[in-house]
Structure 1
């Protein structure tokens, strides 16, 4: 016993000498605890996404190792992802990165049966035979308030709040209206799709179409809603009438390589949905019409489809030379303008023939989903802000040449206009001048005024009323507001207090495909 104690004392002394010489042995950072403290609020405890995307190998794509650590440390430009370099030590950042690269115990799936089981139709809902309000139903504007997850329903003439309803957590991607403007559908980042009856001012129901979703698109006939999912890597098709899940399409390329769906867009003249893919150099077109073509695109498919199919929602896969995860369409929906978020160029894809026909000079990460068009000098131009560069590109949609790069006070997120307005409005969402709003003359392509509605506060996103007489601007803060401007004199008319208002969506502008707004 005595010999054992002595040996232990000598061993302890030896360990102490080693520690003194080499320094203390640091414990491995508890990555799961660090994630819970710093990341879970946006990305959820289970890593399946909330206001931020899911953080698992299936959705991280090629972002592993040093690239992932850099995002955690420095944040991600043009997103809400902040950097943690001043909060976390390098070894803590590395531990979190390794944790995110670890697969979940089970790869999450979300089947038709899972989705339909989640469907919840309100027992209290009763469809009104006519609007229960006296306001013009075509001039209703919805305001998404992300501060407390609600949507306010505004009378577009008086700006009275007709209703304010709770939404699923973290609405994303913009609401979509039925073609008659009566119903609106909103989607949350965690995959819930909610249906609301504007006439009745009542929620109809909701269904979970995915686990981490990007946006939704309405079919031209109003029968179907497509949901773009990051997780699982699928496209979900819902019936708008009852929110029933009709089909879930796995998004995979050759060899079964999966891809997240960055966005889905409607293309009404084509009776199709068009998908932007995050991880594959392809553009997908999913047809919802009664007799869609799927092969034989040597000529205009609408005139001479070679092969028909009886399959429901068939998919056409178009190879492209670069990954395109953001789109803009010309007014005929023949030409698709796409840009990779990591690229320095735009590509024009002729959807009729399935081939690239032009390149566009679009460096600086253009936000094409916010692009707008207007007639100019005998042609049609499109204008898009850039998420990295302090500029707006104006492109001739016939020659695909840059007409002008308008220098701004910083990178922007949204642009809006109206056919009855001589101006385009552009925010400066990113950087120190986030409290500014540029007013651009659509003829001279010059900034004619810069508004400063609330110094120091984020100012973003514009929507016009049905007639274009007023413009609504968001103070994008928890104690924010929607500011109503006279769209001609640019003078402030009214302020409506709101909880971090983000997007605003006018029924008429959306269902009529007003050129000054995104679709």
Structure 2
């Protein structure tokens, strides 16, 4: 499902360290000094992550419209101390109180001109890399469904990895700062990438060729591919839009402005494909609503041969609270969501309303949630971005089955139908970030701890097609993939990589394995 971090909304993902509450309080009351150049401070400390123009890069855009849910005192605290569950460091050890206040004032100041990114800009940006006919079969001998697409953030590349031999087939450059997991066509032939700065790319895995690219926004959250392979839908932070593309050549089909009944606009938290429903589901960042977009080809016929294009008009579900993170049950009838405040709710998508509340303390990372059968019933398990615990929920009653203590806050949790174990990291911990913990799915307890590369951050486990091997990322520029026998928990191979943020098995993704994100 989802692979996402919520920003301080930006600076906030790019400006953090660690001060005390007392220090933050001092900053909040520090006198403003007119002579401090907030823009110079921004360029020196924030621009590398949030863009020189505050429009976002690796971190989100830092504009008033993107910061509506973040009050200024909280922004001051975030700049000084960092923001949990993000890449935003603290700057309290580098900047004094007046400087932090100057930065805060800057990011809440509107730009002189708000940049536009509409249909004209999209069409002008589109690049077609391949025009001739390509082979309709793989140009390599490896199993095309047991490949991994490995995203290497260290130098902005991706590797196509043979999941049987654990050998790279090819490696190619990508756009800067890919965000969220890549998505695949239903047959696994094509992979689609989205970057933080709005670029969407289509890559032909069978022919090892980049097909086309288009820039759909200024600051983009993620993308989804329809289960019939015809459409891509992209969620934007800036502008506040959703964009529909024709996957054949990434031609833009429609822009949907994201506003509520009063005209208030919103960023989009994320969009995902709900295959059994033949629809896209999107949660909104600044409006407590979920939107559903049908792409059902049965919408009607223009004539006996041509199917009418879906209208992509949203069905709007009003909620009690915002959804920053969400998860589907196996039927895709229910959506389980939570806000950064830890409010959990179960939404009946058929009825279009909240079904019940669910106890999800701390800050659950539902985008990394997985499911399995436990004592004859389906359960949902989610790591926690703020607390050292994995929450297991009975999906029949929506009651907590168990809270499993862990060494610290995690980010990714993964499993496979053919293994008795679930693997969870300590990605957000203050220590033990080099540990992967192994949970027995029937005992609901940690039964082993692995240190794939002592002293280096270990994260994002993914399994081979058959579940026999587990691949763990060492999240460092001089990182690697560490490959384990999933039964014996012994290392079988290591592959050097440049900060391999994630790797995605094609079969597990297109078959919607219960052990991985979709």
TM-score, with structure 1 as normaliser: 0.90
Q: CA deviation at 1:126?
A: 5.2
**Corresponding residue for residue 417 of structure 1:** 415
Q: 2:211 aligns with which of 204, 219, 227?
A: 204
Q: Does 1:104 align with 2:103?
A: no
CA distance in 2, matches of 1:241, 1:311: 16
Other structure's SS at 2:145 match: helix
Q: Does 1:314 align with 2:313?
A: yes
Q: CA deviation at 1:109?
A: 2.1
CA distance in 1, matches of 2:115, 2:97: 30
Q: 2:90 aligns with which of 64, 83, 91?
A: 83
Q: CA deviation at 1:433?
A: 1.3
Other structure's SS at 2:106 match: helix
**Corresponding residue for residue 175 of structure 2:** 168
Aligned length: 479
**Corresponding residue for residue 306 of structure 1:** none
**Corresponding residue for residue 26 of structure 2:** none
CA distance in 1, matches of 2:325, 2:123: 30
Other structure's SS at 1:494 match: strand
**Corresponding residue for residue 359 of structure 1:** 357
Q: Which has the higher contact order (CA 8 A, sep 6+)?
A: 2
CA distance in 2, matches of 1:107, 1:54: 12
**Corresponding residue for residue 28 of structure 2:** none
Q: Is the 8 A contact 2:269 2:284 kept in 1?
A: yes
Q: CA deviation at 1:325?
A: 1.6
Q: 2:377 aligns with which of 376, 379, 396?
A: 379
| CA shift digits 1:137-168 (9 cap, x unpaired) | 01010110000010010000001100111111
Q: Is the 8 A contact 1:146 1:502 kept in 2?
A: yes
Where do 1:428-447 residues align within 5 Å? 428-431=426-429, 432-447=431-446
Where do 1:45-56 residues align within 5 Å? 45-56=52-63
CA 1:477/1:290 → structure 2, altered by over 3 Å: closer, same or farther?
same
**Corresponding residue for residue 144 of structure 2:** 137
CA distance in 2, matches of 1:311, 1:401: 38
CA 1:310/1:516 → structure 2, altered by over 3 Å: closer, same or farther?
closer
| Of 359-368 and 57-66, the range deviating more from structure 2 | 57-66
Q: CA deviation at 1:268?
A: 1.0
Q: 2:234 aligns with which of 218, 221, 227?
A: 227
| CA shift digits 1:391-419 (9 cap, x unpaired) | 00001100111111000000000000000
Other structure's SS at 1:424 match: strand
Q: Is the 8 A contact 2:295 2:310 kept in 1?
A: no
Q: Does 1:330 align with 2:335?
A: no
Q: Is the 8 A contact 1:291 1:310 kept in 2?
A: no
**Corresponding residue for residue 460 of structure 2:** 461
Q: Is the 8 A contact 2:294 2:310 kept in 1?
A: no
Q: CA deviation at 1:270?
A: 1.1
**Corresponding residue for residue 345 of structure 2:** 347
**Corresponding residue for residue 290 of structure 2:** 283
Q: Is the 8 A contact 1:440 1:446 kept in 2?
A: yes
Other structure's SS at 1:115 match: helix
Other structure's SS at 1:136 match: coil
Other structure's SS at 1:254 match: coil
**Corresponding residue for residue 448 of structure 1:** 447
Q: Which runs of 5+ in 2 are unaligned?
A: 1-31, 301-307
TM-score, with structure 2 as normaliser: 0.91
**Corresponding residue for residue 242 of structure 1:** 249
CA distance in 1, matches of 2:464, 2:133: 28
CA distance in 2, matches of 1:49, 1:82: 16
Q: Which runs of 5+ in 1 are unaligned?
A: 1-24, 294-308
CA distance in 2, matches of 1:35, 1:184: 36
CA distance in 1, matches of 2:136, 2:236: 35
**Corresponding residue for residue 489 of structure 1:** 488
Q: CA deviation at 1:453?
A: 1.4
Q: CA deviation at 1:234?
A: 0.7
| CA shift digits 1:468-515 (9 cap, x unpaired) | 010000000000000010010000000000000111100000000111
CA 1:35/1:125 → structure 2, altered by over 3 Å: closer, same or farther?
farther
Other structure's SS at 1:256 match: coil
Q: Is the 8 A contact 2:297 2:310 kept in 1?
A: no
Other structure's SS at 2:259 match: coil
Other structure's SS at 1:263 match: strand
CA distance in 2, matches of 1:183, 1:382: 30
| Of 334-343 and 175-184, the range deviating more from structure 2 | 334-343
CA distance in 2, matches of 1:290, 1:201: 30
Where do 1:7-26 residues align within 5 Å? none
Q: Is the 8 A contact 1:125 1:204 kept in 2?
A: no
